[in-house]
Amino acid sequence: MTSATAGTGLTGADFEKFRDYFYKRTGIQFSESKRYFVDKRIDNCIRASGYDSFAGWFGALRLGDKPALLQELINQLTVNETYFLREDYQFDALLNAVLPEVLKNRSRIPGPIKILSLPCSTGEEPYSIALRLLEEWPHIDTVDVEIHGADIDSEVLARARHASYGERSLQRVPKPWVAKYFNLVGAGRYQLDESIRGAVTLHQINVCDTATMRNFRDFDVVFCRNVLIYFDELSSRRAAENLYGSMRPGAYLFLGHSESMSRISPIFTPTRLPEGIVYQRPTGAK
């Protein structure tokens, strides 16, 4: 068998080292079968960063003084695309397993159920949650739900507020839902109806900023997907701590499908649902 990589040509040992490093750093594991995919992406990163060998690039990456190297690598190795109903199985888990538990445990707690989407980017995630609740959660007629989206980037928040999307972003949304909740506003552009846009509260926030995160309280469910992997050790720990503070005891936290708290912080209790692992803020009652 000939080497699969042109250019910098990773050896088997290089690949092993890289795989161990990337796993340790992000919790994302690539099997040997992904070798070709990973090699190509690493090659792109090495070229883009101006290094002429794997060893030089990997040494700089591990040293950590050029955060852009890791950022580029994660961008290359993960899917950044955001669209409606992405990683939908987690919304299944929300409806089928998490919200029933939340309802059961909150009989004594006044006020609405609170859901936070962070980072919410251009709004697809919080609006997806809203659509699925309205269309598929039978209790929505009898229970109040507050949905909040938050992001550090004011520009994406402005787009989230405007809530106008292309067909690509909506391709997983059932046609009847599009007809019911979106208005055609231009060629292939659909704007989410004000009834939903207006119901989701958006905030600009840095999840690592403890002082402002302290104002976020008593959430029952938090979605924090595909962002903690970008943070260094201390930032991801602080972000996890801040998320914990924003949640009620017993509340649920969803991470991205390839992410795990096990590389970040032991502060949450992992719980297994049919759809995968979610994390709970402990209730304190043992």
Partner 1 sequence: MGLVRRNAEPEPQTMGPGDLLAQLDDPDPDRRREAALGLEAESAVEVLLDRVATEDEPRVRDAMLTTLAAHDTDAVAAGLAVHLASDDAGLRTGVAEALASMPESVPAIIPRLLEDPDHDVRVMAAMVLADLQHPEATTWLTVMIKDDPHPNVVASAIDALLPSLGPEHTELLERAVRRFPDDPFLRFTVEAALR
Partner 2 sequence: MTETQPKVLVVDDAATVRMYHSTLLTEAGFEIHEAANGLEAVEAALGTAFDLFVVDVNMPKMNGYTCVETLRSETVGTPAPVIMISTEDRPGDADRAYAAGANLYLVKPVVPARLVRISRMLTGRGVAA
Written as one string, the DSSP assignment of 14-27 is: HHHHHHHHHHHHHS
Smallest gap from residue 17 Cβ to partner 1 (A): 5
State how far the Cα of 137 lies from the Cα of 286, in Å rounded to an integer. Answer: 31
CB closer to partner 1 out of 196 and 273: 196
Structure tokens at 177: 């839902």
The answer to whether 245 contacts partner 1 (rule: CB under 8 A) is yes
Binding site partner of 277, from partner 1, partner 2, none, Cβ cut-off 5-8 A by kind? partner 2
Closest separation between CB of residue 274 and partner 1, Å? 26
- Cα–Cα distance measured from residue 262 to residue 239, given in angstroms and rounded to the nearest whole number: 14
Q: How far apart are CA 107 and CA 34, in angstroms?
A: 48
CB neighbour list of residue 177: distance below 8 Å, 6 or more residues apart? 131, 135
Count the site residues for partner 1 by CB under 8 A. Answer: 47
> Which one, 171 or 204, has the nearer CB to partner 1?
204
CA distance to 35, 229, 283, per residue, from 250 (Å): 40, 24, 5
The kind and range of the H/E element at 67 are: helix 67-77
Among 234, 274, 285, 286, binds partner 1 (CB under 8 A): 234
Q: What SS3 state is found at 51?
A: coil
Is 68 an interacting residue with respect to partner 1 (CB under 8 A)? Answer: no
**CA angle (279 as vertex; 278, 285 as ends), nearest 5:** 130
Options 140, 153, 161, 258; binder of partner 1; rule CB under 8 A? 140
Residue 155 binding partner per list partner 1, partner 2, none, with a CB distance cut-off of 5 to 8 Å that depends on partner kind = none
Work out what residue 147 binds among partner 2, partner 1, none; the CB cut-off runs from 5 to 8 Å by kind. Answer: partner 1
Among 100, 11, 112, 108, residue whose Cα is nearest residue 54: 11
- Which of partner 2, partner 1, none sits in contact with 174, Cβ below 5 to 8 A by type? none
Residue 237 touches partner 1, criterion: CB under 8 A: yes
- Of 171 and 210, nearer to partner 1 (C-beta) is 210
| 144: partner contacted, choices partner 2, partner 1, none (Cβ within 5-8 A by kind) | partner 1
Q: How far apart are CA 41 and CA 49, in angstroms?
A: 12
Q: What tokens does 141 get?
A: 């007629």
> Is position 65 an interface residue for partner 1 (rule: CB under 8 A)?
yes
Is the Cβ–Cβ distance between 221 and 115 less than 8 Å?
Answer: yes
- Give me the residues that bind partner 1 (CB under 8 A), please: 17, 20-21, 55, 59, 62-65, 112, 130, 133-134, 140-148, 196, 198-201, 203, 210-211, 214-217, 232-234, 237-238, 241-242, 245, 249, 265-267, 284
